[in-house]
């Protein structure tokens, strides 16, 4: 607590995590004696650097860049880069911490990391984005590499930004395909990486529903966000027979009773880079709620997929969600539910699928992109997509079965945390706690 004073998001992630692994620690005293937990709670390395860049008027600006290399027990650090004005060391430490266990759950050889900057990409021109990315990578390239640390995208970092970052890395180091993932398809990108987090989220819920002899068919789904994760979660849920009736951005949310029109949404967000009000203006039955959170939506629905950002579902919104009859909350975003919200879900029998398991599809396909880059062979969309579905099934089953093994049946959060932690702890001990 004292060492991390003021780092609220990071402490929140730790507070969520620690009580859930208690049943595992009780059964494994050797783990407690080894002190691996205390060591694990200290990031291996944090890099912070200055990012100066020039705007279109020729004025110089400066932002703060970070890379948190949290844990390399299972492989090279792996985790996205976030560009958003809310980025702080605390936010990135919480994300890197979650990433360790998420990556462990994928079963693929990747450690945990995260990075980014408090740079705000909104309203910046394309050349400004390029100059920022080039300056950011000029410093970051000293600390990363295909076998060391392999960043990817996150909020504010999509194909365009990865392209500029990759170009700068290549200029400074010579060509290396495997230094970033989420690359465009024309050079070393993986098919299905763009779709992976959203699709993976829906696959996770599909396997949960299968267990209940149920499916997405006919379900009403409330989705937040309208970025990379939200768009492909909506697409896959609709493909499986559900109706996604909402999406949102930081200015408000759209309710579309006919189901979100994905072509229009992509046009607005990915091509025109406009606000969601532009979506509602084109759809006769859709309503735009300016300045409102999507979690204030209170009519009946079945499944909630928060896909925007951390702490978007407060206790108050969790109560609204429970009253609307939703039975499943599956997190596409990282830590979108506050601790109080999770307690309300648990109390009311809402099945809670934590982000570190449910949104692991993105990083899993990033690891498959690394495999393709090493092989120098691209895989087909179908191959990557079916691997993704199989990985999400394994992750769901690991959460379910681990929860059962530790007498917390049905508690997918404990299942995810214990299954993710056990592998990392064992690897650290076997490597001499390094």
Binding site for NAD(+), residues?
197, 228
- Answer yes or no: are the C-beta atoms of 79 and 151 closer than 8 Å: yes
Taking the complex as a whole, the smallest distance from the CB of residue 156 to ligand NDP amounts, in Å, to 5
CA dist 398 and 420 (Å) reads 9
Q: Between residues 15 and 122, which has the closer beta carbon with respect to ligand NDP?
A: 122
203, 361 Cβ separation under 8 angstroms:
yes
CB of 228: closest distance to ligand NDP in angstroms? Answer: 4
Least distance CB 291 / ligand NDP (angstroms): 11
Q: Which is nearer to ligand NDP, 13 or 428 (CB)?
A: 13
Q: Supply 150's token pair.
A: 């392999």
Using CA atoms, how far apart are residues 41 and 165, in angstroms rounded to an integer?
30
- Is position 114 annotated as part of the catalytic site? yes
Binding-site residue ranges: 78, 99, 102, 153, 197, 228, 366
Query: Residues 336, 310: contact at Cβ < 8 Å?
Result: yes
Task: Name the residue nearer to ligand NDP (CB basis): 43 or 153.
Answer: 153
Q: Which is nearer to ligand NDP, 39 or 252 (CB)?
A: 252
Question: Contact at 8 Å (CB) between 387 and 129?
Answer: no
CA distance 259 to 238: 8
Nearest approach in angstroms of CB 264 to ligand NDP is 15
CA nearest to 104, candidates 426, 385, 433, 432: 426
Contact 121, 160 (CB under 8 A): no
Residue facing ligand NDP at closest CB distance: 227
CB 295, min distance to ligand NDP, A: 10
Q: Closer to ligand NDP at the Cβ: 114 or 423?
A: 114
Cα distances (angstroms) measured from residue 328 to each of 205, 233, 300, 304, 311? 8, 15, 13, 6, 17
Residue 396 Cα distances to 108, 135, 165, 311, angstroms: 15, 40, 34, 23
Cβ closer to ligand NDP: 130 or 155?
A: 155
Only one residue has tokens 């997405």, namely: 216
Neighbours of 26 (CB within 10 A): 10
Q: Give the closest residue to 232 by CA, choosing from 199, 193, 184, 185.
A: 199
Burial of 213 (0-12, 13-18, 19+ CB in 10 A): exposed
Distance CA 123, CA 415 (A): 42
Q: How far is the CB of 74 from ligand NDP (least distance, A)?
A: 17
- What is the residue whose two structure tokens read 């990817």? 152
Angle at 326 between CA 322 and CA 330, to 5 degrees: 105
Spatial contact of 305 and 261, defined as CB atoms under 8 Å apart = no
Binding stretches for ligand NDP (CB under 6 A):
153-156, 197, 225-230, 249-251, 307-309, 332-334, 359, 362
Binding-site residues for substrate? 78, 99, 102, 153, 366
Determine which one of 93, 114, 220, 236 is catalytic.
Answer: 114
Terminal Cα-to-Cα distance of the chain (whole angstroms): 23
CB of 409 to ligand NDP, least distance (A): 27
Minimum distance of ligand NDP from residue 275's CB (angstroms) = 7
Question: Considering beta carbons, is residue 242 or 358 the nearer one to ligand NDP?
Answer: 358
What whole-number distance in Å separates Cα of residue 140 and Cα of residue 131? Answer: 14
Looking up tokens 């365009």, which residue turns up? Answer: 160
| Closer residue to ligand NDP in complex, CB, 209/308 | 308
Which tokens belong to 213? 């002899």
Provide the annotated active-site residues: 114
């Amino acid at each position: 607590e004292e060492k991390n004073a003021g780092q609220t998001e990071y402490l929140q992630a730790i507070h969520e995590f620690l009580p859930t692994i208690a049943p595992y620690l009780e059964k494994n005293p050797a783990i407690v004696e080894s002190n691996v937990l205390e060591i694990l709670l200290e990031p291996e390395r944090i890099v912070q650097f200055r990012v100066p860049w020039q705007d279109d008027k020729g004025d110089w600006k400066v932002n703060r860049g970070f890379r948190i290399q949290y844990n390399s027990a299972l492989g090279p650090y792996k985790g996205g880069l976030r560009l958003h004005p809310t980025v702080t060391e605390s936010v990135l430490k919480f994300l890197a911490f979650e990433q360790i266990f998420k990556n462990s759950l994928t079963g693929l050889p990747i450690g945990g990391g995260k990075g980014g900057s408090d740079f705000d990409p909104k309203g910046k021109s394309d050349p400004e984005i390029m100059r920022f990315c080039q300056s950011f990578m000029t410093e970051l390239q000293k600390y990363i590499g295909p076998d060391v640390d392999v960043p990817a995208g996150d909020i504010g970092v999509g194909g365009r930004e990865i392209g500029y970052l990759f170009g700068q890395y290549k200029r400074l180091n010579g060509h290396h395909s495997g230094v970033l993932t989420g690359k465009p398809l024309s050079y070393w990108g993986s098919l299905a990486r763009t779709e992976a987090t959203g699709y993976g989220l829906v696959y996770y819920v599909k396997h949960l529903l299968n267990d209940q002899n149920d499916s997405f068919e006919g379900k009403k789904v409330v989705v937040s966000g309208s970025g990379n994760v939200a768009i492909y979660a909506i697409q896959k849920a609709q493909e499986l027979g559900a109706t996604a009736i909402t999406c949102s951005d930081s200015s408000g949310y759209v309710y579309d009773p006919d189901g979100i029109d994905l072509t229009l949404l992509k046009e607005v967000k990915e091509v025109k880079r406009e606000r969601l009000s532009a979506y509602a203006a084109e759809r006769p039955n859709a309503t735009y709620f300016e300045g409102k959170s999507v979690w204030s939506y209170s009519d009946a629905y079945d499944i909630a997929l928060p896909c925007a950002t951390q702490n978007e579902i407060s206790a108050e919104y969790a109560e609204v969600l429970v009253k609307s009859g939703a039975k499943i909350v599956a997190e596409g975003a990282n830590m979108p539910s506050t601790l109080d919200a999770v307690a309300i879900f648990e109390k009311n029998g809402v099945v809670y699928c934590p982000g570190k398991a449910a949104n692991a599809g993105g990083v899993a396909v990033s690891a498959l992109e690394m495999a393709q880059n090493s092989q120098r062979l691209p895989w087909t969309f179908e191959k990557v997509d079916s691997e993704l579905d199989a990985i999400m099934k394994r992750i769901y089953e690991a959460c379910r079965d681990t929860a059962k093994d530790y007498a917390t049946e049905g508690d997918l959060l404990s299942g995810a945390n214990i299954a993710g932690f056990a592998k990392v702890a064992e690897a650290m001990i076997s490597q001499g706690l390094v």
